[in-house]
Structure 1
Amino acid sequence: MAVITGLLPDTREQRALAIAHFVNAVGSGMFMAGSVLYFTRIVGLPMTQVALGLFLGAMTGLVAGILGGRIADRYGARETQIVVMIVGAAAMICFTFVTSLGAYLVVSVLIGLVFAADKSSKAPLVRHFGGENPAAYRAYLRSVVNLAIALGSLAAGIALQIDSKPAYLVLIVGRALSFLAGAAMLVRLPRVAPSHTSADSGRWIALRDRPYLAATALNSLMSLHYAVPTFLLPLWVVEHTEAPKWMVSVALVLNTAMIITLQVVLSRNVSDHVTAGVRMRWAGLAVAAGLVLMATAGTQNAEVAIGLLLLSTAVYTLGELWHAAAAMEYSFGLAAPHAQGQYSGVFGLGGGVAEALAPAVLGLAITYGWPAWLLIAAGFAAVGLLSSPLVSFALRRWRPAHL
């Protein structure tokens, strides 16, 4: 019991927020590992149509992210989060009735709105309850989330092996229930007072902050890799390697286990844009190397493919960890404290663009093979190398004096 207590944050509010993240992320892990295969193998939609739904959902979520963050700043982050989670639960249930492209696209748009608003309205809560060491608490929350995703992925692995409609539907319903459980935990948090700023200083200030926009754009390009474990890897393993289908879940568990154990450690000393830029450079190189190893698995027998997929996942995950540390510092460290929700909405806009484009960009590797794999890998390495000098230049040239 003492060991468990030592793993928990110091304050009751931090613990409640961490539990809300945890239960919500369990459902996320279940849904991420099985959703693409559900829509392609059970509903019968081609990969191009599934990618279209992901694209439309992400694009329509862009506006929702900024508005959700601004609403959270002005009217209360806790209340906004609870409403968003309840709507998310309802939207997930709608997915169980999807039998056609039209219905899939409609629900995908609704899910995109929910996911974007969820991220931006959550940020003021994380900042407010972060305590004396907010960077460490943010890293802790990411470890908690990935532990939950690992558990959800284990459940998804069972559904992948059963490979039937009822098994996949359990994953979707589980995602809906996790939304509701997360909302119930947030009720225990005290209300966060809305920020009170003048109309001139608070109205869409993040959209006028060019250094923040530069960091957002670079992070958006790097964030294309987040679709590797949830989109590219499942399709690559199942359709283009000799490895068994359960390797999808094994790779996701390895990915999340590394994040759980290493995120806090690798996020230490990332306290400004300079150290964040160093981590971005490391991230780009690691992600690129992981993709090359993953591509190589497609030309090997089952045993070698399994080994290469495990190695590629480990190398890729180091890149993901370094990128996450840099992104958290850019998102929170460069933001105006009184408008964290709005700034997070803008930062999430970049993530939404990446989410929308990732299936099309990473799907090139499925379609065109080795040349596309190498080109995509080179792109990640280039973004990582350019991030530090570009953000530093933007801060020197354009940082508003009042920030």
Structure 2
Amino acid sequence: MTMGNGAFMTCSALYFTKVIGFTPARLGLGLSIAGLVGLLAGVPLGHLADRRGPRETAAALVALNGIAAGGYLFVDSFAPFVLVACAFVVLERGGRAALQATLAAVLQGTDLVRTRAYLRSVNNAGIAAGSLFAGIAIQIGTDNAFRVVLILDALSFLVSALLLMTLPRTAPAPAAAPGEPRLAVLRDRPFAVITLISVVLSLYAVLLEIVLPLWIVSHTTAPRWLVTVLFLVNTASVVSFQVRITKKVDTLPLAIGAFRRSGVALLLCCVLFALSSTGTAVTAGLLLVLGGAVHVYGEMVLSAAAWVVSYELAPPDKQGQYQGFFFTGYAASVMIAPVLLTSLLIRYGTPGWFVLGGAFLLSALAMGPVVRWAARTRPQYFGSSSVPSAPLKGVS
């Protein structure tokens, strides 16, 4: 599935503008509408996974996601495109929540978080391979070449759905007790604050894809091909080191420390990117590569901490809706980040990087007390680690 997605993401903009004939503004509007529609889809569909069985729900949603991906082949105007895009995003968000609930049902503790790390490494490798395949289609440049990519993307979802059904069957969660809200996560204020903070921290996700290419071209003397180098550094690092880093973050106290380290790393990478606007092309290039390395370290540590917190603080019978809600923070961040960060960083330049770096650090530091608050508000703590109310010693 990730290989198909990597191929589709690489050439989708060209397909919709060159083959279908949308203007970039029209394409952006349609995708923004789909993003808004799908923003909260993970919560009800995650709840459905809890009640109907996460494995079966995940497989069904992933298969339907493949059908939606195939629907792009039949789009010939704006209205059908918006409908298909909305269906695709809603099913993707729901499928992701159901998949995380499935993992939580069949794995426990450190095995669960480490499996997420393995999957992220595999995902990045698959996306990279898919991007290379899409490059061949782009080089061929014909309409049919792009359609082949779409077909393979759709088929990859269907294959993934079949693979999901090979996992152990997971029993549905029992019905809610009388008086208990169906979507309990919407009333969990500490978890909502954690998700809100994650919106700020998740801004890191668009730096590499959107901001840095524009920054390199408009604010530095570095060569443009350095964008490719930064992508390779990021992908290779995640594939090589995500599992290793995650093994060291497997309890809530360690996750709180990892949040702090990620905040420092993301602040430092912002400083390095800001400084790349000065000096020669060689100096700018070195600062950008160093900043990219620090950025991906912060990204990996942040991911490990977020996985622990999202799983440990979720009730076992409500993993679907909790994972769906937590991912909403990331989805909201990715939706607002292009406009917010291009304005802050490209328009205002170096000062904007320092503002963003400060926001990363403050948000990461805020996670500690909020995570402790969340643990204290549980009738019983659902995780496997104790969380002291005082500042943790020996955790950096």
TM-score range (shorter-chain normalised) is: 0.7 to 0.9
Please give the residue correspondences for 1:316-355 in structure 2 after superposition, counting only pairs within 5 Å.
316-355=295-334
Say whether 1:146 aligns with 2:140.
no
Identify if the C-alpha distance between structure 1 residues 295 and 45 changes in structure 2 by more than 3 Å, giving closer, same or farther.
Answer: farther
- Give the aligned CA root-mean-square deviation in angstroms: 3.2
Say whether 1:75 aligns with 2:52.
yes
Deviation at 1:317, TM superposition (A): 0.4
Say whether 1:274 aligns with 2:267.
no
Please give the residue correspondences for 1:159-170 in structure 2 after superposition, counting only pairs within 5 Å.
169-170=147-148
Answer with 1 or 2: which has the greater Rg.
2
Q: Which whole-Å CA distance do the structure 2 matches of 1:195 and 1:317 have between them?
A: 37
Paired AA for residue 182 in structure 1: S
5+ long unaligned stretches in structure 2: 383-396
- Tell me, what secondary structure is at the counterpart of 2:171? coil
Partner residue, 1:4: none
Q: Select between 33-42 and 51-60 the one with higher mean Cα deviation.
A: 33-42
Deviation at 1:166, TM superposition (A): 5.9
Q: Which whole-Å CA distance do the structure 2 matches of 1:153 and 1:165 have between them?
A: 18
Please give the residue correspondences for 1:16-55 in structure 2 after superposition, counting only pairs within 5 Å.
24-35=1-12, 43=21, 45-46=23-24, 50-55=27-32
Say whether 1:108 aligns with 2:88.
no
Identify if the C-alpha distance between structure 1 residues 269 and 92 changes in structure 2 by more than 3 Å, giving closer, same or farther.
Answer: same
Partner residue, 1:63: 40
Contact kept in structure 1, 2:375 and 2:381, CA below 8 Å: no
Paired AA for residue 176 in structure 2: S
Say whether 1:314 aligns with 2:290.
no
Contact kept in structure 2, 1:31 and 1:175, CA below 8 Å: yes
Question: Of the candidates 364, 372, 386, which is equivalent to residue 384 of structure 1?
Answer: 364
Q: Which whole-Å CA distance do the structure 2 matches of 1:311 and 1:36 have between them?
A: 30
Q: Which whole-Å CA distance do the structure 1 matches of 2:78 and 2:353 have between them?
A: 29
Q: Which whole-Å CA distance do the structure 1 matches of 2:380 and 2:299 have between them?
A: 33
Paired AA for residue 382 in structure 1: L
Identify if the C-alpha distance between structure 1 residues 387 and 304 changes in structure 2 by more than 3 Å, giving closer, same or farther.
Answer: same
Question: Of the candidates 68, 91, 102, which is equivalent to residue 125 of structure 1?
Answer: 102
Partner residue, 1:84: 61
Identity in percent: 37
Q: Which whole-Å CA distance do the structure 2 matches of 1:236 and 1:368 have between them?
A: 11
Identify if the C-alpha distance between structure 1 residues 129 and 94 changes in structure 2 by more than 3 Å, giving closer, same or farther.
Answer: same
Contact kept in structure 2, 1:292 and 1:374, CA below 8 Å: yes
Partner residue, 1:188: 166
CA displacement 1:204-236 (0-9 Å, x = unmatched)? 122222222222222222112222233334555
Question: When the two structures are superposed, what TM-score results if normalisation uses the length of structure 2?
Answer: 0.82
Q: Select between 188-197 and 295-304 the one with higher mean Cα deviation.
A: 295-304
Identify if the C-alpha distance between structure 1 residues 319 and 162 changes in structure 2 by more than 3 Å, giving closer, same or farther.
Answer: farther
CA displacement 1:188-211 (0-9 Å, x = unmatched)? 234221111434457212222222
Identify if the C-alpha distance between structure 1 residues 322 and 188 changes in structure 2 by more than 3 Å, giving closer, same or farther.
Answer: same
- Tell me, what secondary structure is at the counterpart of 2:173? coil
Contact kept in structure 2, 1:154 and 1:249, CA below 8 Å: no
Paired AA for residue 315 in structure 1: V
Identify if the C-alpha distance between structure 1 residues 178 and 319 changes in structure 2 by more than 3 Å, giving closer, same or farther.
Answer: same
Q: Which has the higher helix share?
A: 1
Paired AA for residue 373 in structure 1: W
Q: Which whole-Å CA distance do the structure 2 matches of 1:371 and 1:99 have between them?
A: 44
Paired AA for residue 23 in structure 2: L
Deviation at 1:385, TM superposition (A): 2.1
Number of aligned pairs? Answer: 378
Q: Which whole-Å CA distance do the structure 2 matches of 1:176 and 1:385 have between them?
A: 41
Question: When the two structures are superposed, what TM-score results if normalisation uses the length of structure 1?
Answer: 0.80
Say whether 1:203 aligns with 2:182.
yes
